[in-house]
Structure 1
């Protein structure tokens, strides 16, 4: 039989991640198969040394532009303790939004003053703990400010930022209007030493640089206004929103231009606008450089210059950007089902060819493909939470290492649950050879939001363990993540 020669007409273009020799070597080492056998299900691999490298890159930009800055890792991006341990060891702050996150950060050695507490309408217990541990609290509304000032009247002066509603996003549910900010500033000034109002913050969706620069400049002006009322106001938070670059520009643009329902199992459709921007020309620490180097409209100098001139510290809350290339997710193939084109071999109208017993021997024009079923669920690859899917191609790993090119085999990837919607990858990925039961699929660069945002022990399946990989001179060394129970 003649192997498939995939064409854009039959299958979507490939979406390989950027070259990563370290992860390639890990795939070829045999360790993933040993771990799959040991844990009997999917698992996540963590590479904390890459977290350290990403932190260092952000700090290098701050130093190069002579800007005072503090980095807070956005804990919501991944629940593993390994990242918090690195924060404690490296003097990195942590952005938390619940009692559980705050307690875990403290329990792993991060000091209260190195925590910033975000999120809307915080519970009283969270406000009490944050105040007691001298955390910095981003206040989102006037009623929240009133509850926080009540703690001040009990003898503890809370540290706070006032969150600003972006003027260009008036429908956002985060932040205070201009009038509400005026009221909040007056209340903070009246509280005197009972509160420490340290500055302002904003929450802005998306990854565009210029809107963040415009808001940063506005917050500098608000700090000057607050100082006129006798408030310290010496810092601003620009939040996160530092994109991660997963794929090449050419591959991503080719995919967006050609993708259509025929490229997906069951004719599934995805709007291009709903995909994460998997290629970003300015990403990570370089996005910070671009932000600080922007001259906002109506200002004579860059954001960096405005911060220096006003003596203001910039606070950063990256999550995904600190986890770039710092982890991957591994599933074991436990079933391979061949599927022909709709109507083929079924007696349906238009069915003129038999469904192939080996999809790799079918003609590309038939659109034949397979359905791989793995030993976990799509709840451990969370992008479908956003009506999308994780676009980069997984790597097929056999017991001998990464699969070599044989007979190309297009397939979608489904989960082990009884739900039709439990599909990890709806797109018909063209694998280099036909996967076999026991082979592994390694989804790369999943540490940022993918691993555990949606995790659930559905069907009483165990949650995938997180395995920390540590650099070593010989074979890779590993240990279980030390996240406390509960």
Structure 2
């Protein structure tokens, strides 16, 4: 049988992270923790927030950025948000407690998610959070909870006409009923505007629906409702790899590139290259003409005096963290090797979607080399290897793909998976086999020094 050459998808270069990895810190942490760990870079979070704010300022649009907390459980992001005024998007009572407990003011929290629990709604109303109402019965529960206290701040979530089978939002009939109910219950509810949840990463559909929400605000005002803001949610793509590398990968990948002939279709994968990502995607949305005609969205927002709310998750965590595993064993399987590391695939959550986290892991020797060379300075021949987890499950594969390493990995070497802060590193983690959850290590760089501390929130 013909041997299939390994297929690579390198992440974008990150010289600052490379310098940290070369300094010996990963090896020290691996020794100290005795297992895998995650590195967090909160200054990257700050920079990503600043980029979104800059895009709003450039367009002359009043707006507010909320961090979608579901993207990563670490306290570090919430702590930074509390200091710099970034809001938080939460969807459970636990997430709301975490945000409030780390200093985020209720007025800077938006509560999303379907069929919210009464416990969540009660605290949200008392703390003055903005609640995205997803159903008529939920609106009634909010009104009842607010009857004896301050008015509840609400957005009405719109069912996207282009995605009529979505389980999120109010259709036309429900929306009309909700507006009438908000007007009748004005003492208990402050209806501040509209929101939507839209799947996918395309920018024009977001601009189209945002334009519709601006018009809905104007109609709601005619009924005496405040309606001065809209939320377009998240869905801002992250660009992990170059266009050339992504095009080559998607054109060539096939069963021969994976352990056990595993089959993936291109549609199974996150789009690891996006020509317009992060804050640039916001710029494109603001410059787009809703429906393809008339004034750009930014101009419509300004003219209507409507504030734009954003809820990015992954995009605020771009390059803000990586995940490190230690090689425990190496075995040969013909033309490739199988590595077993000291963690599980639950820490790389694309497997949750029966998919694969594709950016290449980087081999880091037991010294401080980043190119994977041996401590004796001799690289040796390149070796292809897949990466399995430390459990008794055949399906526990961190990387089904046969990745090319510059030499044969050895027990004690480290594998660094880049750019894993956004949804990868803790969305699906579990202490299976009584394995400890990987700790999160916060790196802070001041005065030319890099210092580390554990994230203040214990893993759960």
TM-score range, shorter chain: over 0.9
Q: Note if 1:459 corresponds to 2:453.
A: no
Secondary structure at the aligned position of 1:83 is classed as helix
| Aligned twin of 1:439 | 413
Give the structure 2 partner of residue 4 of structure 1: none
- Name the counterpart of 2:360: 393
**In the alignment, is the contact (CA less than 8 A) between 1:13 and 1:251 conserved in 2?**
no
Say if 1:12 and 1:255, in contact at 8 Å, map to a contact too. Answer: no
The CA deviation at 1:41 is: 0.2
Is the Cα–Cα contact under 8 Å of residues 256 and 272 in structure 1 kept in the other structure? yes
Distance in 1 (alpha carbons) for counterparts of 2:113 and 2:76: 23
Q: CA deviation at 1:484?
A: 5.2
Paired residues for 1:74-223 under 5 Å: 74-223=68-217
1:406 maps to which residue? 380
Is the counterpart of residue 312 in structure 1 residue 279 in structure 2?
Answer: no
Q: Deviations over 1:393-417 (max 9, x none)?
A: 0010002321145311000000000
Q: Distance in 2 between matches of 1:284 and 1:30?
A: 31
Please say if residues 193 and 226 of structure 2, whose CA atoms lie closer than 8 Å, have aligned partners that are also in contact: yes
Counterpart of 1:361 in structure 2 is none
Q: Which residue of 1 aligns with 2:254?
A: 260
Residue 347 of structure 2 corresponds to residue 380 of structure 1: yes
Q: Measure, in 2, the Cα distance between the counterparts of 1:231 and 1:9.
A: 67
Residue in structure 2 matching 1:37, options 24, 31, 40: 31
Give the 3 Å change call, closer, same or farther, for CA 142–259 of structure 1 in structure 2. Answer: same
> Could you tell which deviates more after superposition, 324-333 or 405-414?
405-414
Separation in 2 of the partners of 1:307 and 1:475? 44
CA–CA distance in structure 1, aligned partners of residues 175 and 187 of structure 2: 19
Q: Deviations over 1:316-369 (max 9, x none)?
A: 0000000000000000000001111xxxxxxxxxxxxxxxxxxxxxxxxxxx10
- The separation in 1 between residues aligned to 2:122 and 2:155, in whole angstroms, is 16
Contact 2:35 2:438 in 1 (8 A): yes
1:6-25 residue pairs with structure 2 within 5 A? 10-25=4-19
Work out whether 1:370 is the aligned partner of 2:344: no
8 Å CA contact 1:78–1:452 kept in 2: the answer is yes
Relative to the length of structure 2, the TM-score reads 0.97
Of 395, 403, 408, the match for 1:429: 403
Q: What is the rounded CA distance, in whole Å, between the counterparts of 1:474 and 1:267 in structure 2?
A: 47
Q: CA shift at 1:298, angstroms?
A: 5.8
Q: Deviations over 1:237-282 (max 9, x none)?
A: 0000000000000111100001000100000011111100000010
Matched position secondary structure for 1:24? helix
Unpaired segments of 5 or more residues in structure 2? 374-378
Provide the rounded CA distance (Å) in 2 between the counterparts of 1:147 and 1:475: 52
1:221–1:485 Cα change, 3 Å: same
Contact 1:12 1:259 in 2 (8 A): no
Match of 2:227 in 1: 233
Structure 2 CA distance for aligned equivalents of residues 73 and 273 of structure 1 = 27
Give the C-alpha shift of residue 152 in structure 1. 2.2
Could you tell me how far apart the structure 1 residues matched to 2:122 and 2:347 are? 33
Q: CA deviation at 1:10?
A: 1.1
> 1:432 deviation in Å?
1.1
Q: Cα RMSD over matched residues?
A: 1.2
SS in 1 for 2:290: coil
CA distance in 2, matches of 1:287, 1:392: 22
Going from structure 1 to structure 2, the CA distance change for 1:196 and 1:384 (only over 3 Å counts) comes to same
The separation in 2 between residues aligned to 1:406 and 1:232, in whole angstroms, is 69
| Secondary structure, aligned partner of 2:340 | strand
1:319 and 1:91 map into 2 onto residues whose CA distance is: 16
Question: Secondary structure of the equivalent of 1:232?
Answer: coil
Cα distance in structure 1, aligned partners of 2:313 and 2:353: 17
Task: Give the distance between the partners of 1:274 and 1:134, measured in 2 at CA.
Answer: 40
Instruction: Give the count of matched residue pairs.
Output: 452
After superposition, give the CA deviation of every residue in 1:46-101 in whole Å (9 maximum; x if it has no partner): 00000000011111111111000000000000000000001001000000000100
Indicate the SS of the match to 2:185. Answer: helix
Kept in 1: contact 2:154–2:191 (CA 8 A): yes
For the residues of structure 1 that align with 2:458 and 2:189, how far apart are their CA atoms? 33
Secondary structure of the equivalent of 1:464?
coil
**Cα distance per residue 1:287-335 (max 9 Å; x no partner):** 0000000012264110000100000000000000000000000000000
Larger Rg: 1
Cα deviation, 1:456-486, whole Å, max 9, x if unaligned, reads 0000000000000111445521000011576
TM-score where L is the length of structure 1: 0.91
Which segments of structure 1 move beyond 6 Å, counting only runs of 4 or more?
Answer: none
CA distance in 1: counterparts of 2:265 and 2:292, whole angstroms? 36
Distance in 2 of aligned mates of 1:202 and 1:456: 31
How far off its partner does 1:9 sit?
A: 6.4
Q: Mark the runs of 5 or more structure 1 residues left unpaired by the alignment.
A: 1-7, 341-367
Q: Counterpart of 1:353?
A: none
